[in-house]
Amino acid sequence: MFRYVIAATAMTLFAGGAVAQTAQTGSHNPAVKNGAPHTIAAPAKGANSFTEDQARGRLAKAGYTGITKLTKRDGLWQGTAMKAGKRATVMLDYKGNVTSR
């Protein structure tokens, strides 16, 4: 009987370790940052170190054209731009994520 208890405990420990090591996908903050701009629902708050030219480049990479009125407020680059024939307010957070309204 004692062997069964030890065997059951050992199997539980090994199974738990395997589950903890599975990769998670779709993380908003991945371990390795992809250089491509991401479009998200809300910008992340934080100090932004992008220059205006870098911000314009990130927005252009995300498919925006005619980027105007680009200013930095509260750590976010904000401006207006065109995409698919529609004008939108665009924002770039400190992580390089693009948000539009």
5-27 pLDDT, tens digit per residue, is 676 666 666 665 555 555 555 55
Higher-confidence position of 28 and 68: 68
What is the value of pTM for the model shown? 0.60
Q: What are the backbone dihedrals phi and psi of residue 34, each rounded to the nearest 5 degrees, phi first? A: -80, 135
Question: DSSP letters of 49-71?
Answer: ---HHHHHHHHHHTT-EEEEEEE
- Whether 91 contacts 99, CB under 8 Å: yes
Q: Residue 76 has what pLDDT?
A: 93
